[in-house]
Amino acid sequence: MDKKIAVIGGDGIGPEIISQAQRVLEKIASLYGHRFTYEEVEMGGCAVDRYQDPLPGEMLRRCLEADSVLMGAVGGPKWNGLPGDLRPEKGLLRLRGAMKVYSNNRPAKIWPQLAGASPLKEEIVSRGIDLMIVRELTGGLYFGEHTTKQEPEPQAVDVMSYHEYEIERICRIGFETARKRRGRLCSVDKSNVLDTSRLWKKIVHRISEEYPDVELTDMLVDNCAMQLVKDPSQFDVIVTENMFGDILSDEASMITGSIGMIPSSSLGDGTRGLYEPIHGSAPDIAGQDRANPIGTILSAAMMLRYSFNMAKEADAIERAVGAFLDDGYRTEDIMSEGMRQVGCSRCGELILERLE
């Protein structure tokens, strides 16, 4: 298969981690007979320095013309004092808007080799944790009307609104994702209180008739927050609205114990997606070959699985990461006693050697 990938190194550790992910993609291409071509995209602080614009039009065009976008991270203290439009994150927000991605998908997986890093008890972790949170990204409370008035007394109002089509399209991503995983979808809402949740529940059940191979359950958001720490092994895919997803996905990342290991995708209609690790540009360790590139390498694996329909290639990358950990290698952020510490590029090399 031929695929064009827009690659955004970005700032801080971004270029270091992205180049390891590209090496992995190249090896996959040669092992499985694909051809990946790359469009380099300058976005973030580096683009501000060069073009006085965090996402120049030409760079955006390259992203929109690609089959998918793979990104490292953007931002850093150097650009903190700049006015709003020149801030590196503005480039990322513009890119998400232009790509019309309305679904943010974050897996939370505990690698058995790193179980000790989880703040949860061993007896819970040993049951295995491997779930995905599909969060609605462009609607709900964060995008409703916000008003504050002072008279007759100070009052603030935030409006939570969902149209049927917004619920329908995110729920479809939930079902499609569950179909590519273990076939179980948990829809999280607050239908005992909120009208938006009651509409959500009605729609998700209607759509479920089109997905008889996916088992659908419902859970109230407060219960879900508890169940994530009590027994996260019960979940496969969770689909939920924007604010609930914001909170639950951070909770789920926390239980895995390592920010450097977690990938993410943002999807809209069609197959093109934006793939990036959940961490930032880590300016404190940038340029020192100390970053963990695994979150980015696993983001590349997600891109193969969800945008390019290359499941066995994605499995191969995940197996190679598992083998790297099995063999006792660790980057600094996940280092523990008795293990062998390696830098960013050596980590990429060792994963490459384990790819088959």
* Active site (annotated) includes residue 142: yes
Least distance from ligand NAD to the Cβ atom of residue 230, Å:
27
Number of residues that bind ligand NAD (CB under 6 A): 21
Catalytic residue among 222, 231, 315, 327: 222
Q: Mark the segment that binds ligand NAD (CB under 6 A) among 72-80, 156-164, 227-235, 318-326.
A: 72-80
- For Cα atoms 23, 24, 30, give the angle at the middle one, nearest 5 degrees: 90
With CB under 6 A as the contact rule, which of the stretches 171-179, 243-251, 277-285, 313-321 interacts with ligand NAD? 277-285
276 binds ligand NAD (CB under 6 A): yes
Q: Which of 5, 46, 70, 73 binds ligand NAD (CB under 6 A)?
A: 73
In the three-class reduction of DSSP (H, G, I as helix; E, B as strand; rest coil), residue 214 is classed as coil
Give me the residue whose beta carbon is nearest to ligand NAD. 280
CB of 82 to ligand NAD, least distance (A): 11
Q: Which of 24, 60, 74, 317 binds ligand NAD (CB under 6 A)?
A: 74
Spatial separation of the C-alpha atoms in residues 44 and 66, rounded to whole Å: 19
- Kindly indicate which of the ranges 119-127, 195-203, 225-233, 280-288 contains the residues binding ligand NAD, using the contact rule CB under 6 A: 280-288
282: left (phi over 0), alpha (psi -120 to 50) or beta: left
Question: Active-site residue among 102, 246, 306, 329?
Answer: 246
Which one is catalytic: 85, 195, 250, 326?
250
Q: Name which of 302, 306, 250 is nearest 279 in CA terms.
A: 250
**Cβ neighbours around 1 below 10 Å, total:** 14
Q: Which of 256, 320, 272, 236 is nearest to 111 (CA)?
A: 256
Residues 232-261 that bind ligand NAD (CB under 6 A): 259-260
- Which tokens go with 332? 């600094």
- Classified as helix, coil or strand, 69 is strand
If phi > 0 it is left, if psi is from -120 to 50 it is alpha, else beta; for residue 173 that is alpha
Contact predicate 75/89, CB 8 Å: yes
Q: Quick one: 7 or 13, whose CB is closer to ligand NAD? A: 13
Q: State the residue for tokens 């019309």.
A: 100
Residues that are catalytic: 142, 190, 222, 246, 250
Note the residues at the interface with ligand NAD (CB under 6 A): 13, 73-76, 89, 92, 259-260, 276, 279-285, 291-292, 295, 333
